[in-house]
Amino acid sequence: MQNRVTVTSLYKMKKEGKKITELTAYDYPFASMVDAAGIDIILVGDSLGMAVQGRENTLAVTMDEMLYHTSMVSRACSYSMVIGDMPFMSYQSSIEKAVDNAGRFLKEAGASAVKLEGGAAVCEVISAMTKASIPVQAHIGLTPQSVHQMGGFKVQRDEDRLMADALKVQEAGAFSVVLEGIPSAIAAKITKALDIPTIGIGAGAECDGQVLVIHDMLGITNRTVPKFVKKFADINLVAQQGLKQYIDEVRAGIFPSKDYEYK
């Protein structure tokens, strides 16, 4: 059994040029598979609003829902670091509320860090959380909680702003930063400029690590996925085959056969 991933081991990986793997998971069975596979970080993302709850965006996800899902994931993990994602309006209205909510992920749900979206605008919050010994993964570029302000889920191309945001979240104390939906050349420059690891999603191969939504990369649901998603398996297809076979066998009286009966 490998030692559990920590903030310190992630810094070491960046220094040694070892790529960091991060995936989302939202419940015990999926987190067990991801942890057993040796993924470094499990993010209990507010993307569960779309992947699990069937919503159009992440805005309606609540703190209670996030804590519920994060507890299930934490119980499954012995290797992966578990990060709880701060939902919309759990950290925007006041620093005190933000720190209290972040603390709940560690105290009540077994996470060892939190993630939140935003650059310069959330630096005071990142700094307050870090001072309270709550490790923070920042998230800049295409930030889904700002979908209405961005006018949709759009690639972000303002290099000066992205670089400034990345440097500011690092200065505020973030231990890593997710770069979402930005051109790969900009992500490469940011990765070189920072001491903390960058984790890309739709940001090219030069980031220090990669993150994807598990339901997208394993083909669990049939929803249309962004260009940057590679389907590493087609679970939906395999499940449909099994489900159809079950229907056929029940209707034909093949299942349950004697093997599945009590005597």
Residues forming the site for ligand KIV (CB under 6 A): 24, 43, 45-47, 85, 139, 178, 180, 201, 211, 213
Which of residues 24 and 198 has its CB atom nearest to ligand KIV in the complex?
24
Q: How far is the CB of 48 from ligand KIV (least distance, A)?
A: 7
Q: What is the DSSP letter of 87?
A: P
Taking alpha carbons only, the member of 125, 56, 54 closest to residue 89 is 125
User: DSSP for 26-42?
Assistant: -SHHHHHHHHHHT-SEE
Which residue is nearest to ligand KIV, using beta carbons? 45
For the chain, the straight-line distance linking the first and the last C-alpha, in angstroms and rounded, comes to 42
Which of residues 24 and 80 has its CB atom nearest to ligand KIV in the complex?
24
Taking alpha carbons only, the member of 38, 69, 10, 46 closest to residue 213 is 46
State both tokens at 87: 């939902």
Q: How far is the CB of 236 from ligand KIV (least distance, A)?
A: 19
- Is residue 95 within 8 A of residue 123, CB to CB? The reply is no
Q: How far is the CB of 46 from ligand KIV (least distance, A)?
A: 5
Which of residues 42 and 194 has its CB atom nearest to ligand KIV in the complex?
42
Which of residues 48 and 106 has its CB atom nearest to ligand KIV in the complex?
48
Q: How far is the CB of 61 from ligand KIV (least distance, A)?
A: 9
State both tokens at 219: 């083909």
Taking alpha carbons only, the member of 213, 211, 216 closest to residue 197 is 211
- Is residue 67 within 8 A of residue 109, CB to CB? The reply is yes
Active site residue 124: no
Among residues 180, 206, 249, 261, the one annotated as catalytic is 180
Catalytic machinery residues: 180
